[in-house]
Chains A and B, each alone.
Chain A
Amino acid sequence: MNVMQQATTSPIEIRTPKMPAMEGRAVSVFYGQKQALYDVSLAIERNQVTSLIGPSGCGKSTFLRCLNRMNDTIDICRVTGEIRLDDEDIYNRDIDVVELRARVGMVFQKPNPFPKSIYENVAYGPRIHGLTRSKIELDEIVTSSLRRAGLFDEVKDRLNEPGTGLSGGQQQRLCIARAIATRPEVLLMDEPCSALDPIATAVIEELIDELRENFTIVIVTHSMQQAARVSQKTAFFHLGKLIEEGHTSDLFTNPKNKQTQDYITGRIG
């Protein structure tokens, strides 16, 4: 009993398992005059996969891109509300955006390796962020990242060949290796399998499940079945609003909201 009490009052114990990795609070996004996201509040739980689903133009990718300030690259885009990463507002002026993107990595729809060697693709991030002091350390990061991305065995003999020479599925895993090389806390994935065949998709899905142990993952997907397969939590967006969020198994067996039900079952809403 005493031990239990100590554990719950220790600050470290409270921080790690309970607090969400990221949290959006009343996030609205405007592209010029047009509002794309309305007051979205969503917690991204640590070491879980959260999937964002919804029809095209519903704001799911917009929300995802807010999580590492990718929207900053669009001039007319304006974000209001708060997005917290470990209790720090990432839209705070003091935040270094480059450093933020090392902590919140991203994988895109189309595999986009740099036109460099496989090794350099992975080594680039750790190098520019000064995460390593020696070549040996860098080698170690490249190897372990490729291993975690399930690609190492396939490419270990040709690390100096261009990354663009790999197959689509391998390229996407290379991009995942590149994203995790900076040891991010959160990994954002924007339809990471939409350009891949079913086998490569299955490999990536298996990988997502393994990566969950060390990372928090947010995935945008058009495939309902994929959301159901890989995520623990699902959020459904429609016309810029967060309609329903909850445990994936609940949302796919018994959605509370009629709009959610119509969308996931393929009905005319």
Chain B
Amino acid sequence: MATALNEHIVTSYEDELINLNKAISEMGGMVEQAITDAANALLKLDHKAAQDVRQYDKLIDGMKDRITEMAVSIIARRQPIAVDLRMVVTAIQVANDLERTGDMAKQLAKRTLQIESLALAPKFYNGVKHMTDLVARQLKSALDAYASRDAAKAVDVCAHDDEVDLMHTSLFRELLTYMMEDPRNISQCIHLLFCTKSLERVGDHATNIAEAAFYLETGRQLGQDETQRQQL
């Protein structure tokens, strides 16, 4: 866990860094919500909810711009170094990954609007539902690791990314089977296949956020070697 930092002598600088962290937490919450809402909209084929997710993405984009501006302003005026510099640089990275994750939620919503049927067969969406739960958990853990500067938790998130990839591969096979069984399934299954791709990318962004959390806390990049070393 992170060692507690003393306060800056300049309180307005301290406040700016706190506000930056708050903004990241807030944006993280928004994106988590967007992914959950988008997945729910997809599984119920709820067009109204899907429209809301698309609208909500504009707020997420705005949040990213705000965080970038805050970070650039801190760099220009305060010349942060050491842990402060890492905080500002990772804030920009994390905001970027969150914005991309928000885009994935928007992708799910767009697919929802394109699927032309009244309901999905449960056997189609069970796998998608499980994958959504898994990536939502990964995203939450990554954001927690970042907020609490927990390097061990960050390593854990990265180690679990394989599960997301495996699930993506197995869902691909499953959906392929349904398509071969009955060509009438193809349209729905193709849409769902693109959705799983989006979810898989959410998992990748969660990993990026976890890597940023690790760097923030330790000052080291979390490479392949480091992941293995930390797990031993």
- Chain A interface residues toward B at CB < 8 A: 224-225, 228, 252-255, 258, 261-262, 264-269
Contact = CB atoms under 8 A, between A and B. Distances in A.
B8 A261 contact: no
Interface of B: 3, 5-10, 13, 79-86, 218-220
Given A253-B82, A254-B218, 9 more contacts: A252-B81, A252-B82, A253-B81, A254-B86, A255-B82, A261-B82, A265-B80, A266-B8, A267-B6
Contacts of B6: 262, 267-269
Contacts, number: 43
A265 B86 CA distance: 11
A120 B42 CA distance: 85
B147 to A, nearest CB: 20
Of A253, A265, A269, chain B has the most CB atoms within 10 Å of the CB of A265
A261 B7 contact: no
Nearest to B13: A266
A265 B219 contact: no
Nearest to A251: B82
Contacts of B80: 265
Q: State the majority secondary structure of interface residues on B.
A: loop
Nearest to B85: A253
9 contacts: A225-B79, A253-B219, A254-B82, A254-B220, A261-B82, A261-B83, A265-B8, A268-B7, A269-B6
A262 B220 CA distance: 19
Nearest to B78: A266
Given A228-B81, A253-B86, A268 B9 contact: yes
A254 B5 CA distance: 14
Nearest to B14: A267
Contacts of B85: 252-253
B7 A258 contact: no
Nearest to B3: A258
A66 B10 CA distance: 34
B15 to A, nearest CB: 14
7 closest Cβ pairs, A-B complex:
A254-B219, A267-B6, A252-B81, A265-B84, A268-B6, A265-B82, A266-B9
Nearest to A228: B81
Contact of B82 (A225, A264, A268, A269): A264
Nearest to B89: A253
B81 A224 contact: yes
Contacts of A255: 82
Nearest to A224: B81
Contacts of A254: 82, 86, 218-220
B68 to A, nearest CB: 21
Contacts of B83: 261, 265
A159 B6 CA distance: 54
Nearest to A255: B82
B81 A267 contact: no
A53 to B, nearest CB: 12
Contacts of A262: 6
Contacts of A258: 3
A2 to B, nearest CB: 36
Contacts of B3: 258
A116 B164 CA distance: 77
B219 A267 contact: no
Contacts of B86: 253-254
Contacts of B220: 254
B81 to A, nearest CB: 5
B9 A267 contact: yes
Nearest to B79: A225
A265 B7 contact: no
Contacts of B9: 266-268
A222 to B, nearest CB: 14
A267 B13 CA distance: 10
A205 to B, nearest CB: 15
Nearest to B6: A267
A228 B81 CA distance: 10
Contacts of B219: 253-254
Of B9, B80, B81, B84, chain A has the most CB atoms within 10 Å of the CB of B81
A93 to B, nearest CB: 44
Contacts of B218: 254
Nearest to A269: B6
